Amino acid sequence: MNKSLKAVILAAGKGTRMKSEKPKVLHEIFNKPLAGWVLSACEEIGSFENIVIVGHKGEDVEKFVKKQHPESVCVYQKEQLGTAHAVSMAKDTLGDFDGNVLILCGDTPLITAKSLFDFVEYHNKNNSDITVMSSVFENPFGYGRIVRNKNDAVAEIVEQKDCSDIQKDIKEVNAGIYCLSWQKIKGFFDNLKNDNVQNEYYLTDIIKWGNEAGLKVLAYILKDCSETLGINSRAQLADAFKTMNERHLNELMENGVTIVSPANTQISPETEIDADTVIFPNTFINGKNKIGKNCKIGPFAHLRGDCTIGDYVKIGNFVELKKSFVKSHTNISHLSYVGDAEVGSNVNIGAGTITANYNSITKEKKQTIINDGASIGSNTVLVAPVELGKKAFIAAGSVITKDVGANSLGLTRSSQREIKNYVK
């Protein structure tokens, strides 16, 4: 944990263009809310005691934060009066904190921990008091321009509508992320001004305030401008999903994973895959998973999260896994569902096998344990809780409700009958 770093994450907006009852920052990419991606990036660089500014349906956002990011806290902004006003809500919580404060928006899920780390490093190495993150766009229309002075420091941020003809040609724009030396700048939030057309309190005004106070104000240029893109619509949510997925697939391929058809494969950035594993088309891997080396996954496989898969494992077509641990050299080849299970090594699970792990009346989920060397015939149902011993053999078409011992045959099947000349 970095005790000298905290983050304030702005998550109070409604997100009208999403046309949803759900708060914008709780819309998901790979089953993880937008705000969750931002919080995770902050935590990865050591900032855990973060402050989330909530407003619209704040109770829902707070519930998520408490469950998934318990060291962070939520502070309410009852009226949305601008970005500076939102940050000012965190002033009492930050109090005498003597360190750097990152300011981020909760709808920017593409920001990476590496970029935030480099940003804070730049701020510290240059002894800056206020550092704004910037990006360079070939078409900067609509963005606030970064206006630098002769010393290359930031003189001001000028919004599109206020730009002069010369300023309109500036391609460096405000990316909306700040690193602030809290004790140096907290006075800015004591006397906020809203003398603008919208009558809102803008965080960009801190640049002019900092210069007038004799503080050092710098800008850090982010190389990949896509990282700061905010989500304001369903179309932008889909674009962010695509970008996040492509970024992770490229990283996996660079590290020795074969992605047969990247255009038809989706893998969560929270999933780790070792070298020489092959991912076949139309595979969807959600959440946090760990997949070993020399595995074959897919086609049409679905991993729903919380899965650990050993080396040389085959997860075949139309197989679904959830919250399962699978040891090495095991085959789950086709048309099966394995959930809440521990599966040993050298296990063979036949087509159409199901772990019946959920009781819809009690809402309980039970575990299935399949020990090393077990073989399960096609079209079998394993009703949890149940355990199969080492090298147990389950006959095809069985419904197994009791444990089966090592080297034993499990069989539940009514006797076959033949009625001669029935068709005639």
Q: Which residues are catalytic?
A: 334
3-class DSSP assignment, residue 116? helix
**Length of the chain measured in residues:** 424
Angle at 113 between CA 160 and CA 53, to 5 degrees: 60
d(CA 203, CA 225): 20
Instruction: Name the percent of the chain in helix, strand, coil, to the closest 5.
Output: 25, 30, 45
88-118 in b/e form (b: 16+ CB < 10 A) is bbbbeebeebeebbbbbbbbbbbbbeebbeb
- Non-local (6+) Cβ contacts of 176 within 8 A are 104, 105, 108, 133, 228, 230
* Residue in the structure block whose two tokens are 């920017």: 108
3-class DSSP assignment, residue 200? coil
* Residue in the structure block whose two tokens are 């929270």: 270
d(CA 315, CA 330): 9
* Residue in the structure block whose two tokens are 């595995």: 295
d(CA 391, CA 414): 24
- Whether the Cβ atoms of residue 277 and residue 291 lie closer than 8 Å to each other: yes
* Residue in the structure block whose two tokens are 């708060």: 23
Look up residue 262 and give its two tokens.
Answer: 């990247």
* Beta-sheet pairing, 172-181 with 130-136: antiparallel
Helices (H) and strands (E) in the chain, counts: 9, 35
Of 83, 97, 88, nearest in space to 12 by CA = 83
3-class DSSP assignment, residue 292? coil
Angle at 371 between CA 370 and CA 374, to 5 degrees: 80
